[in-house]
Chain A
Amino acid sequence: MRPKPAAFDPPPNKSLSVVHATGLQEQEVWEIGKLTLGTQPGRDKIHGRADLPVKALVKRKLRAFLDDNPFKRHTSVVGWPKPEDADERKQQRKQICLELSLDPDVKLVLPESPVARSG
């Protein structure tokens, strides 16, 4: 199984939110993940995560910087291509998301059971 390409699709502000997970235990990573949960259907549980090394981003000319905002270890992935032509822009983004999804260095990690907000 591979992470879906859409998992890497940056929001309209072109800054993809990720967590700097280096040095963390498995459980600590899932705990941080809980901070991103919502209440609407489909956003209230974590079914998996993609672990990607910075080199996978650098290879696509993307940059990751730790900003600790809105939570500690929050990291933004920026540098998404911005050609003027909208079709070209979307194409380039699709290609990068697909490449990240299939990159052998990017791992899909599934929890034993879906992770939900505790209490």
Chain B
Amino acid sequence: MTTMEATFEGMPGLIAPARSTALSDPAKNIDKMLEKIREHLLSSYALSNAAEQALTELHEVLAEASREGWDGYGARPLNPLSYEFAISFLNALPTNAPFPEVSADTDGEVSFDWIFGERKALTVSIGPTGRCTFAWMLGQSTHRGTDWIDDEIPASIIFALGQLLRDTAAKAAN
């Protein structure tokens, strides 16, 4: 856990396809190597299982929340664009990050939750414009913010996840 966490912050997701504008041959070769690494990682049982589980959960949530009033109290259906951005989000998660639990918000956004323990969790809602609304708690501190998913997961969310993982690893080591 500690070694995983040490390289976590700022690391792009290796599961995500390489996004490159490389023109030179050496750069193209690096892209090819990255793609091979990505395929290898996805073939790893543990990793693909976790990623697939999150994607399956997301698909189940879409089926459950696809109709107006799916909660019995007028909730909006899950927005297809939120769903697409949620898939991008999962694909862009750093390889060593745990995958979240998935739910639907009543306003049609997708919610991802990482609950690590007592007073230690992160929740992120993904909207149809790529807006990521998040709140996280670590001990007595609570933080919240808004950011947008572009090609990568917002740094603010990576930071929050990194803090929570670091704290969890430190407590496990003690």
Contacts and interface: CB of A to CB of B under 8 A. Distances in A.
Given A91-B146, A94-B133, A94-B134, A6 B104 contact: yes
A94 B160 CA distance: 15
Given A42-B60, A102-B118, A94 B144 contact: yes
A7 to B, nearest CB: 8
Interface stretch (A8-16, A20-28, A46-54): A8-16
B38 interface: no
A100 to B, nearest CB: 11
B32 interface: no
A99 B119 CA distance: 8
A87 interface: yes
A21 to B, nearest CB: 18
B104 A12 contact: no
A99 B144 contact: no
A79 B151 CA distance: 37
Contacts of A119: none
Given A6-B104, A94-B135, A102-B118, A12 B76 contact: yes
A101 B120 CA distance: 11
Interface residues of A, number: 30
Contacts of A17: 72-73
A15 B74 CA distance: 11
A97 B121 CA distance: 12
A11 to B, nearest CB: 4
Nearest to A44: B64
Given A42-B60, A101-B115, A11 B121 contact: no
A83 interface: no
A12 B74 contact: yes
Contacts of B72: 17, 36, 38, 43
A87 B64 contact: no
A102 B119 contact: yes
A55 interface: no
A36 B73 CA distance: 10
Contact of B121 (A36, A98, A104): A98
Given A36-B72, A94-B135, A99-B137, A41 B123 contact: no
Given A5-B111, A12-B75, A90-B127, 5 more contacts: A5-B113, A10-B106, A94-B125, A98-B121, A98-B142
